[in-house]
Amino acid sequence: MTVSSAPGKVYLFGEHAVVYGEPAVPCAIERRARVTVEQRADDKLRVQADNLSLDGFTVEYGGRTDGHPDVDVPEHLITAAMGYVDEAIEQVRDVTEEPDAGFDVIIESDIPLGAGLGSSAAVVVAAIDAATRELGATLEVDELAERAFQTEYAVQDGQASRADTFCSATGGAVRVEGEDCRRIDAPDLPIVIGFDGGAGETGELVSGVRALREEYAFAADTVETIGNVVRRGEAALEDGNLEEVGRLMDFNHGLLSALGVSSRSLDTMVWAARDADALGAKLTGAGGGGCIVALDQTEASETALRFTPGCEDAFRAELAETGVKRLE
């Protein structure tokens, strides 16, 4: 039996635009998916996800023994999660040259599904790492990140960047621009997350931005402008200038809204944090619903979010310095 965990992430800057070659800066957070893998005697795959939780928001279901998990999360999220695990195991079979390897897989995660915190990337990274080790191979972190990216790329019909998977594999704050992925230094970031209890459909949201970009030159300009905001954001991070980082996060949120990927509840949470004098606030991830990320050194944003209708949970998140962890 082998066990690996990998962290979720928030985007400080650059989601969506990164799909078109602009830079992005995601940052790993201490919310993890833990995957336990045991090789089977046959070539089958059995996946059990006992507990996918966030404080005050827990869903439970008991595996796929009859093909119909007992779930209280939307079916499409479960189907999506299982699609990621299936494809991750295909990558493992390929890299280890063991096409007939079968596994029992248990997923435990405290990252809500599809909510912009990188749940699928964390599950994929941890699953590939644990299953390859179960077969006696250990991947370098770069190769692990690449295999995890190939998994997302396949499941999302080619609409994926390397940002989520690289960040989850390596940990820390990272910069991704096309194939160029690296860790960057970031100051201590007072990250606050608000969660509306919902989720967005990444594939649909990415396709929506693609369509807008093709229809309107100004939408293509908006994507490019996000790239410019990211470059300024990187400089502000390097200087440790959190006020400027926050201002640019606000700007980034406005541009994402213009591209149609925000929602009423995301906007409401962003404004709750701004009204509480957060340094800045924006949606994180694909959007449509899920989470916002705010920067606030005081307790004010977290408190304001807790009292905001439509905000299901609010919490502070620490930067995860370590990406994948090999636990057993």
- Catalytic residues, by residue number, are 164
Of 40-79, binders to ligand MEV (CB under 6 A) are none
Count of residues that interact with ligand MEV, criterion CB under 6 A: 12
Task: Give min distance, CB of 300 to ligand MEV, in A.
Answer: 28
**Binding-site member from 15, 146, 196, 302 for ligand MEV (CB under 6 A):** 15
x-marked contacts with ligand MEV along 121-160 as a string, rule CB under 6 A: ---------------------------------------x
Q: Which of 19, 88, 123, 229 binds ligand MEV (CB under 6 A)?
A: 19
CB of 172 to ligand MEV, least distance (A): 17
Report 255-294 residues binding ligand MEV (CB under 6 A).
285-286
Q: Nearest residue to ligand MEV, using CB?
A: 161
Q: Does 29 bind ligand MEV (CB under 6 A)?
A: no
**End-to-end CA gap in the chain:** 7
Instruction: Rank residues 97 and 180 by Cβ distance to ligand MEV and give the closer one.
Output: 180
* Residue with smaller CB distance to ligand MEV, 8 or 69: 8
Residue 101 or 160 with smaller CB distance to ligand MEV: 160
Residue 161 is a binding residue for ligand MEV (CB under 6 A):
yes
Q: How many CB atoms lie within 10 A of CB 1?
A: 11
CB nearer to ligand MEV: give 93 or 175.
175
Residue 124, CA atoms < 13 Å, CB-side half-sphere: 34
Q: Is 163 in the site for ligand MEV (CB under 6 A)?
A: yes
> Which span (11-19, 68-76, 80-88, 177-185) binds ligand MEV, by CB under 6 A?
11-19
Q: Give yes or no for a contact between 199 and 114, defined as CB atoms under 8 angstroms apart.
A: yes
Query: Least distance from C-beta 25 to ligand MEV, angstroms?
Result: 12
CA dihedral 309, 206, 284, 76 (to 10 degrees): 60
Of 167-226, which residues contact ligand MEV (CB under 6 A)?
202, 206
Interface with ligand MEV, residue 18, by CB under 6 A: yes
Whichever of 19 and 281 has its CB closer to ligand MEV, that residue is 19
Three-state SS sequence of the chain: CEEEEEEEEEEEECCCHHHHCCCEEEEEEEEEEEEEEEECCCCCEEEEEEEEEECCEEECCCCCCCCCCCCCCCHHHHHHHHHHHHHHHHHHHHHHCCCCCCEEEEEEECCCCCCCCCHHHHHHHHHHHHHHHHCCCCCCHHHHHHHHHHHHHHHCCCCCCCHHHHHHHHCCEEEEECCEEEEECCCCCCEEEEECCCCCCHHHHHHHHHHHHHHCHHHHHHHHHHHHHHHHHHHHHHHCCHHHHHHHHHHHHHHHHHCCCCCHHHHHHHHHHHHCCCCEEEECCCCCCCEEEEECCCCHHHHHHHCCCCCCEEEEECECCCCCEECC
CB of 36 to ligand MEV, least distance (A): 25
Task: Provide the minimum distance between the beta carbon of 170 and ligand MEV in the complex, in angstroms, as a whole number.
Answer: 16
Residue 164 in the binding site for ligand MEV (CB under 6 A): yes
Residues forming the site for ligand MEV (CB under 6 A): 15-16, 18-19, 160-161, 163-164, 202, 206, 285-286
